[in-house]
Structures are given as structure tokens and as C-alpha cells.
Structure 1
Amino acid sequence: MSGAPKAKVIPSTHLEDMADEGAGFGGFAAGEIGQYPHDPEMASIPDFNSLTIVPWRKNIAWVAGDMYVEGEAWHYCPRTILRRQLEKAREKGYIFNVGIEAEFMLLKQDETGSYAPWDKLDTLDKPCYDLRALHRNLDTMTTLIKYMQELEWEPYANDHEDGTCQFEANWTYSDALTTTDRHTFFKWMVKTLAEERGLLATFMPKPFTNLTGNGAHFHMSLWDEENQTNLFLNETDKNGLSQLAYWFTGGILKHAKAVTAVTNPLVNSYKRLVRRPPRSGSSWAPVYVTYGANNRTQMIRIPAPGRIENRLGDGASNPYLAATVLLAAGLDGIENQIDPGAQNEDNLYEVPEDELQQRGIGSLPATLGEAADALEKDEVIKNALGMEYAEYYIQVKRQEWRNYHLSVSQWELDNYLEVY
């Protein structure tokens, strides 16, 4: 559920056995995947379409797998859940193409064991695109680009982002399953590169109160069955979008609160979705259920003709589950021809709250608890995940929220201990 990859090393001499029978796992030991210690073993059946030669150890290949239990596809497997939703889209004649903007921070432990941005010269209030900070990290970034080029992902940009020691890498979009596999591998690759340099790479949504959080923006479009024609493209429209794209957008807006429980899955996620700016002057994260043209204060932005960008998700989201719920919401928008309404042009961080209410602009959930409640009420999104898995997901997230409230934070000690 966390999206953290679990693995076994299989020697090539036993590759054929693994192809047929899969690699065995005790599911309960692997994390939240719907198993308990007494349950039968899970088998990860490799999907060799995902085979990736590890660039820094070329005698090793990484292969994503689908989980099976007693010969049946396991309905708690996030990759299987996405496959099922993609098949629903394919039945309607659609291929779901996705590109993900992956943001991360590079940190280092100090003498007390606490983590902080590693580069002590990276101190600008507005460090985004800073050449000097990027140059100090050039060995790491160019190595990352080289690896992606070797993998034929077609990387096209890499930059210093809005937070101290925060970076982003972009590569060319693909079909949703390919992109989510690559995103999973990418996070491991970045963490490995950082560890080789004595650093920690984190995709945590909001590691520091005073710095911008880590997003995972999804750029989305639907194509025809042959993946030759972009069905979101209409060159005569002012935004370059087709009616299909607007309905898809309307569906995501309608289901936004439930979607948030999946695209923003942690207690910490909701400390990124705020109006209050960090040191740079803007959180660059959505707070309201809106869409607009090339406007980065919106939940959904139209960055270019033929695609929409959901700016909601963060670096902790499981990409398979996030793609599933976004596609399900969009398809519901198409099926019911949901009008997204008028697009917003304002800087929504500055519009007064009472005016937003008068204009009927809704807010995204403010906490993980609120998001779990919204998911529980949304039949479309629960059906996309599978009812059993959705209830399991809600249960896990509510327990996470309760555990958070049972812990005493340093903020409480600082503000209450001596006063009361």
C-alpha cells in the first residue's frame, strides 16, 4: 500500500521457474497487502514487459510482478488494481497515458542524528532554478539523467525546485502501467544514488515546515486504442482541449475529495496542501477543488494543448493506486458528461475564504481523517479500488490517523508544557 518496493534476488539459472511459478512471499511480512501470519504464501509473477537493466549494476535486472494467492490474482495488489481499471478504459477504446513529475529532497544527518538539507550554501529564499545550487549537485543529476537515457525513458529536464536541496526530474510520458513501473523504479534509483554519496533522498510530502513540499504531479491524456491519436486534443479550443478532456476533468473535480485519500495518503500529506506559504512565498500545492489554464494555484492545470495536470498528488502516493483513482474519476466524468464549470484565473492563495464560499469553490480535505471519510462515501472510487480493498485502505488510514493523535509532538511540549 505504501508503494515501497519489496523484492527477492533470483539467479538467472532459475529464471524459468520464476516466470511460471513466481517468487514466494509471506504477505504479512511485506506490509499492508491484506494478509495475516496464518495466510497462504503469495507469489509474485514477473511481468517481463517491465524488465529494466539496473544501470549501476548491469548484471542485475529489475522486474515488476503481479501478486497471486493460490493461483488467483490477488485483489489487494496495487498493480493488479491498476491493470483492472486500465482494462475498463480499454473496453471503451481508451489508452490512458501518464507522465509524472517527481520531486525529492537530498538530506544529510548532522552530528545529532537529525536530517537537514545537505548543501549549506543552498540558502536562498527563492532557490527554484538556482544555477549555483544545481551545479553543486551536477554529478548526481547528470548521473541520474545518464541512467534514464540508458533506460530509454527520454529524460528532457532536471532542475532545482522551490525548496532547499529539492530537485525534480522529468521524462517522457507512456501508458499508465509503464509510467507507474518507471516511477517506482525511479524512486529506488534516486535513493540509491543518494546513498552512494552519503545522503538520504526523500519523497516525503512535507519534511520541513518552512520549505516547499514534494509533489508528484500527474499529466494525463486519453488516446485511441492504437495509441496514435490524442483524444484530449482540440486545436480550435482556447486551451487546446476536447470536450472529452473537459468531461474527464469534471469527473476528477467531482471525486476530488475521495481521490485525495489515495493521492495524498499520509498524515504529513495535508501539511503540504495549505495556503500558508513556506519561505519561498508559495506552497505551489492545491487547496481547493478547481481547474484553470496555465495557473499553478489550481488543483488541475492545463499546461499545454491535449493534456491536463493534476497537481494534487505527493511523493508518498502509491503510483498504481493514484493512477487507478484518477482514471476512474475521469471515466465517470466522461460517462456522465460532467461539466467542470468555469475555469479559474485567480491566485487562489489570495482570494478571501468568504469569497471562495460565495463562488461555490470547495476545499480539499484538511486531514487524512477527512479524506478517509470522503473516500468511504464515494462509490465510484471505492469500486475502482475494489470494495474489499477500499474498506481495507480506509481502515489502515484511519488507524494511521488515530496513531498520530495518540502521539505527543514536540510542538505540544513547546507550547503547553510550561504554560499549563
Structure 2
Amino acid sequence: MTAIADEQTRALAQHMFDASPDTADGAARPASSAEERATALTELSGRHGTKFILATFVDLNGKPCAKLVPVEAIAELADGALGFAGYAAGLIGQKPQDGDLCAVPDVSSFTPLGFIKPGLAMVHCDPHVGGEPWAYAPRVILKNALARLAAAGMTAKVGAEVEYFLVAKDDAGALSTADARDDSPHPCYDARGVTRMYEHLTHVSEAMNSLGWGNYANDHEDGAGQFEQNFNYDEALVTADRVVTLRYILNVLAEQRGMTATFMPKPFTDRTGNGLHFHLSLWGAGDTPLFPDESDPRELGISRDAYSFIAGILEHAPALQAFLAPTVNSYKRTGATTTESGATWSTNRASYGGNDRTHMIRVPDANRLELRSGDGAANPYLAIAATIAAGLDGIEKAMDPGTPCGPGERKPHAHALPATLLHAVEALRSDDVMLAALSGDAAIGRYFADAKEQEFIAWHGQVSDWEITHYLTAV
């Protein structure tokens, strides 16, 4: 499939989905009928030789959940008749006694995956319960956030930088770099490391370009065994879907070569961790960019609304980190003091500046901001939704972030980012805006906070090698 074909897929679905329908709760809802979805899926499947469709959604932790549906059952898929036991699927707001989650496919997300298995495709779905979109489902959460943004006359476009390690695991469970020769303390951009992984990197690149994503760079990142493969920015929901799809593609293609692709924030103590950086911009009517302003007296070239959007993110940064860095391991990355390369590339304060990668928010040019505190464990739907909620609060309250930091400068009043997942949970519980960032319902925010607290406690209850080393004969 070419980029043109990808545009055709989206065009085919465009008339079936209203980007901002008038509904009682402001949520984006599919305007198409089951029959229309079935017709479109049948046409797309025929065009691409599809035999089986992965009907996919993710839980709040970002785990991809799917059923493999033969094209002969497209009518059932289109009708939302595929039932999932939500509690078994993962963290998604259900108990064992609750009714099924029913996956309703978004035809515009149809993605042929013939480069993985001939005849395979994926379609992202919105889980429903009782005929209504399930407010705990991450894709529904992002659609609700975008509906609120649309009500304010704006849309969001997002780019994502997906970092990952290629590793091997021995029989004892110890991790090592999949490429044994990739052992330099300064491997970033190393042409030799990229060449040794040529088959993997080019397979992924060709896959992205066949889907029309516009892969424009593939590089070795700062840690031994670490890579990043970039694709063009797009509408927020499209980019979130693509992050989920890319993680799946990377996992499967790596496994086919006997490797494991991991997005774990900090798989190695002495190496840089995996980030998931987002490049965000706001747009108004007629696809007019709202960030650039040549008259900016602070000389970043951005508008008052852009500054207020930044201010909202910085104001809510401690609570926002619960969504951007959502695991125990995340805080091994942001809390790192050194790595082999000499830099961690992960800020621990809520600051902003120009083209300076040491801040939580970098403004590389007048068209966008880069949010750098997210990591590889972040669920892209939740991360983008929560960031929009924080930034929109800044715009609505006309917040001012103060003057930008100069190169390497630190502002003493900047919020410190949480030291652990438990600190992030505590910040989330005390921030009403962030608690309500998930579908506008604070109960969902509390559910997420409770789950993350239990995750921290489960980890804390394990005795580690570090403890044995330090305490076994300490007294």
C-alpha cells in the first residue's frame, strides 16, 4: 500500500465519522451504521488481499488486546458483536461480573500488515458497553479530550518519537544487547550500529512508508542497543493509533529475527532510558496554525495561547507525570544521575526553553512544542489526552509560564517532577484538573491512581538484589 492508498482509506471513512458531533456528553461518536462499516471494511479487505483482521484496542496500561477476525465475519465485527471480558483484558474499569466490552471498529484506522503475515490487517476499535462508548477505554478517552478541544474551536496535531532497545534474554533472565558488538559508551548516531541492524531497520522503515506514514529517519540512539524510527506528524488520534501499531510492528518484526524490542523506560541501569516524546501543535478554523507569532517579545516566535498552553502543562506537570511516566521503572529513568554516555536526556523539573533538550518542554521552532518527560511505557491515548487537558486549562485561565529558560538555566520556582510512581499518584490525587482528564470523570482518574498505587506497593514488596547486597550483613 502506498501513501495515496492510505489517504484513500481515510477518505473512505471520512463521510462515516463526524469529528465533532453534537452529543449530550460532548464525546466523539461514530456516525456510521454497522452496514456502512461492513461495506467499507469489505472493500478495504478486498483491495489489500486481507484474510484476517486484528480488531484491536488497548487497556489503560497500553497493552494491545485483539481478536483475530476472518473477513467472512466482517459483518459481526462491524456490528460491534465481538465481545471481550473486560476484566480479563486488563486495566480498563471492569470487574469480573461486568458485561462484555464490544469492539466497534474505526474504519479510517484500517492498516494492512501483509509485511508481517500475508493477508493480515489491523483496525483500531472503540470499546462499547451497553451500546455506548466505554469511558475507561483509552481511545475513547482521547476522543473525548479532542471533542472538548473542538468545542473551544481547536484541533491538535501530534508527532511522536518512539525509542526502543533491541535486546536478548538468557535462560537466567539477564538482558543483553541483541547486537553483541553494540557496546560503546557513546553509540549515538553510530553508522556501524545502524548498518549491523540494517535488515531490521529497513524492514520497519519500508513498512511505515508502505502505510503512508512518512518515515524520514532511522537512527541509533544514546544507549547501546537503542534505536528510534521517526514518522510524520498527523492528527492526534491518528498519531496515537500509529504509536500503538508501530509498537506491535516492532515487537513482531524483532521476534522474527530472534530479538526482543522493548519500550521499557529503563531496562539498563547504566544506559539512557526510552523516551516517548510528543511534538504538539494547536490549529484553528480552516487548519490555521495557532502557535506561530512573529511579534513574540520573548523571541521564541510563539503566540500568547501557545505560552498559556505551555503554562498549563507546567502547572499540572507533577500530576501529568502519572500518565506520561506510568510505571515504577519510569522513575529509574527520570531519577538517573548518570549514564555511560554522560547524559540522561530526561528532565526532573517542569521547565521550558527554546531549542534546549534539558527541559520538560522544548520549543524548537514557532510551529510546535516538544514534551520530553514522557517515556516508553506511556499509553499514547492517555498521555495526549491528559496533556491536552492540562494545556487547555492553561489557555482557559490565561496562565503565563514566565520567561523561558536560557541554555542550561534552571528556574528555582519550577515544579520538581515526582521522584517515584507513588509521588506521581499523590500529585494526581490532589489535582482536580488531571483527575478529570480521562473522559471528564474524576472517578476514572481515581481508578487509575488506585491501580498505580497498587503497582507501586506490589513492587515495593519484592526483595531486590540491591537489598541483599546492602543489608544482608549490615548489622
* SS of corresponding position for 1:64: strand
CA deviations on 1:283-341 (whole Å, 9 max, x unpaired) are 00011110010111100001122100000000101100000100001111111111011
Q: Displacement, 1:58?
A: 4.1
Counterpart residue type for residue 105 of structure 1: F
Provide the residue aligned with 1:118 in structure 2: 178
* SS of corresponding position for 1:396: helix
Provide the residue aligned with 1:412 in structure 2: 467
* SS of corresponding position for 1:342: coil
Q: Displacement, 1:419?
A: 2.3
CA deviations on 1:40-88 (whole Å, 9 max, x unpaired) are 1110111111110013224111001111112122111111111111001
Aligned-partner Cα distance in 2 for 1:113–1:338: 49
Aligned-partner Cα distance in 2 for 1:213–1:158: 18
Q: Displacement, 1:194?
A: 0.6
Q: Is the 8 A contact 1:207 1:213 kept in 2?
A: yes
* SS of corresponding position for 2:159: strand
- Aligned ranges 1:299-310 → 2 under 5 Å: 299-310=360-371
* SS of corresponding position for 1:158: strand
Aligned-partner Cα distance in 2 for 1:112–1:6: 28
Aligned-partner Cα distance in 2 for 1:240–1:58: 48
Aligned-partner Cα distance in 2 for 1:164–1:380: 39
- Aligned-residue RMSD, C-alpha: 1.3
TM-score of the superposition, structure 2-length normalised? 0.85
> Higher mean Cα deviation, 129-138 or 238-247?
238-247
* Identity level (%): 44
CA deviations on 1:371-402 (whole Å, 9 max, x unpaired) are 00110111111112121211100110010111
Counterpart residue type for residue 381 of structure 2: Y
Provide the residue aligned with 1:283 in structure 2: 344
Aligned-partner Cα distance in 2 for 1:306–1:190: 29
**Aligned: 1:8 with 2:61:** no
Aligned-partner Cα distance in 1 for 2:359–2:332: 17
Aligned-partner Cα distance in 1 for 2:291–2:124: 30
Counterpart residue type for residue 83 of structure 2: G
**Aligned: 1:70 with 2:70:** no
> Higher mean Cα deviation, 257-266 or 339-348?
339-348
Counterpart residue type for residue 303 of structure 1: P
Counterpart residue type for residue 287 of structure 1: N
Provide the residue aligned with 1:249 in structure 2: 310
Aligned-partner Cα distance in 1 for 2:194–2:324: 29
* SS of corresponding position for 2:436: helix
Aligned-partner Cα distance in 2 for 1:17–1:120: 48
Counterpart residue type for residue 397 of structure 1: K
Provide the residue aligned with 1:19 in structure 2: 78
Q: Which of 335, 349, 362 is equivalent to 2:396?
A: 335
Provide the residue aligned with 1:379 in structure 2: 432
CA deviations on 1:99-147 (whole Å, 9 max, x unpaired) are 0100000001235342211122112211110111111011111111100
Counterpart residue type for residue 15 of structure 1: I
Q: Is the 8 A contact 1:26 1:41 kept in 2?
A: yes
Aligned-partner Cα distance in 2 for 1:321–1:112: 35
Aligned-partner Cα distance in 2 for 1:372–1:329: 16
Counterpart residue type for residue 376 of structure 1: R
Gaps of 5+ in 1: none
* SS of corresponding position for 1:155: coil
Q: Displacement, 1:236?
A: 4.0
Q: Displacement, 1:275?
A: 5.3
- Aligned ranges 1:143-292 → 2 under 5 Å: 143-226=203-286, 228-237=287-296, 238-274=299-335, 276-292=337-353
CA deviations on 1:396-417 (whole Å, 9 max, x unpaired) are 0010111111111111011111
**Aligned: 1:401 with 2:472:** no
